[in-house]
Amino acid sequence: MTVISAYTPFVSLNDKQHSISYEEIYPEERSEKFTFAYLGPSTQRALLLKAAREQYTLVTDHAVPSILNKDEILVKIVAIGLNPIDWKGPAFNFGIPSLPWVNGRDLAGIVVKADKSARVREGDIVLVPSTDYRDIRKAAFQEYAIATHFNAARIPPTRSIHASASLGVAFVASALALGVSFGLDFALSSACPGPDLTEVVRQLDMETIPADIREECYSGLSKIERVKPGDWIAIWGASTTTGYITLQLAKLAGLKVICVADIARHGARLVDLGADVLVDRHDTQRAIDIIKGVTRGKLRYAIDIVGKDTATLLQHTLEAVVREDGSHAHLLGLTGLPKDRNSHIIYHTVPIKLFHESPPVGEQMVSWLENLLHSGALQLPEIIRTEGGLGNVNASLELLRQGTASGKRIVIDLAG
């Protein structure tokens, strides 16, 4: 197969319309019909990270990324949702494959190019969780981005495109944490049934799952370890965007949810979203005692969304014994796990890359997300909508870093 560099647009995208046939690009696969025809610019505005611990630099001559295969679509970005990783990555020098680099994990926009076989059409408004951060073409801090059609969810006209831009990565992390790591069956939701991701994973060829997440992907497969309706789950950091989504997905599938957060600030919203028990985060020993009291010391599932220290606190709330049926307690850390571990607890990290590496998983997840948005079963994060386009990203990330956004997502408007 011909290898085409991400930096080498094989269609010249000047101001005129150009087209090129799939056969010209992939001559070995002449049986497949795939024709590009795209009207648009060849360069765009983008934010470049030129060095770690630096701010992003706005450039106006970055190449519009190219479609490389028929699973890929081109999206004109309308709104960008900011994630903590967008400032943490440069600040702590991680998640940067090379320099200069383009970052940005959540986007929403208009599909301007898609193959006829794709599950989305040109003109569709979609949200894209850009978890494949090693592919610079898919980053959100630019005017046009590549996505795969199985990672793009259509936004119904009833839902705000800007609020939808804030949702993607949080949804992917929550759904995989609950559905794969803990084995929660979303098909059990009566309000909006979703996939049984454990079953989807079971049907995959194991070789198609990246080696570094294989163990995590199969950890929830055993029936006795899977969380089920009626079980308790505790979320530390429930007022994070990821926490709000995790709470909602857990409630949809029938779990009882304990939310640890600043209750004076976020309690009302957590109650609206279905929290069963609220625990204030500021007195940590009291929080542990309350969780143990409410669950009679039998808590088996917990998710931390804040960091290693709170994951360590959460560890103390779990019933750390192997039960008679051989099952364990489970702790998942989205931002770190305790240093000192308990041999009776199974520790998890979210297998986030399953979303973009496995088309069946990605497609089932975005199809369900479309239904969740359409049916209204999922409430969107509250957002702070920011004008000023890419030029306002650095200042907005500083607000995020300072914690000023507290409980809300900052969304950058690119349409204005």
Ligand X SMILES: NC(=O)c1ccc[n+]([C@@H]2O[C@H](COP(=O)([O-])OP(=O)(O)OC[C@H]3O[C@@H](n4cnc5c(N)ncnc54)[C@H](OP(=O)(O)O)[C@@H]3O)[C@@H](O)[C@H]2O)c1
The contact set with ligand X (CB under 6 A) reads 83-85, 169-170, 173, 237, 239-242, 261-262, 265, 281, 305-306, 310, 334-335, 350, 352, 403, 406-407
Q: Is residue 99 exposed (0-12), middle (13-18) or buried (19+ Cβ within 10 Å)?
A: exposed
Q: Which residue has the tokens 């997502």?
A: 409
Smallest distance, ligand X to C-beta of residue 276, A: 18
How far is it, in rounded angstroms, from Cα 259 to Cα 296? 16
Q: How far apart are the first and last CA of the chain?
A: 41
Closer residue to ligand X in complex, CB, 67/233: 233
Closest CA to 111 of 141, 155, 81, 68: 155
Closest CA to 237 of 257, 252, 255: 257
Smallest distance, ligand X to C-beta of residue 275, A: 14
Closer residue to ligand X in complex, CB, 19/406: 406
Closer residue to ligand X in complex, CB, 74/302: 302
In whole angstroms, how far apart are CA 57 and each of 48, 78, 386, 402? 5, 20, 18, 21
Smallest distance, ligand X to C-beta of residue 239, A: 4
Closer residue to ligand X in complex, CB, 310/312: 310
Smallest distance, ligand X to C-beta of residue 168, A: 10
Smallest distance, ligand X to C-beta of residue 150, A: 18
Smallest distance, ligand X to C-beta of residue 70, A: 28
Closest CA to 144 of 62, 262, 250, 218: 62
Closer residue to ligand X in complex, CB, 84/389: 84
Closer residue to ligand X in complex, CB, 40/179: 179
Residue type, 329: A
Structural element, H or E, at residue 77 = strand 72-81
Tokens at residue 286, please?
């009291």
Closer residue to ligand X in complex, CB, 115/132: 132
How far is it, in rounded angstroms, from Cα 289 to Cα 4? 58
Residue type, 127: L
Smallest distance, ligand X to C-beta of residue 288, A: 13
Q: Which residue has the tokens 């996505």?
A: 147
DSSP string, 159-228: S-HHHHTTTHHHHHHHHHIIIIIS---GGG-SSS----HHHHHHTS-GGGS-HHHHHHHHHT-SGGGS--
Q: Is residue 274 exposed (0-12), middle (13-18) or buried (19+ Cβ within 10 Å)?
A: middle
Smallest distance, ligand X to C-beta of residue 56, A: 18
Smallest distance, ligand X to C-beta of residue 261, A: 6
Smallest distance, ligand X to C-beta of residue 366, A: 16
Helix axes 393-402, 85-92, angle to 10 degrees: 90
> Would you call the peptide bond into 100 cis, given omega within 30 degrees of 0 as the criterion?
yes
177-213 burial code (b ≥16 CB/10 A, e <16): bbbbbbbbbbeebeebbbbbbbebbeeeeeeebeeeb
Closer residue to ligand X in complex, CB, 40/407: 407
Closer residue to ligand X in complex, CB, 142/335: 335
Closer residue to ligand X in complex, CB, 118/411: 411
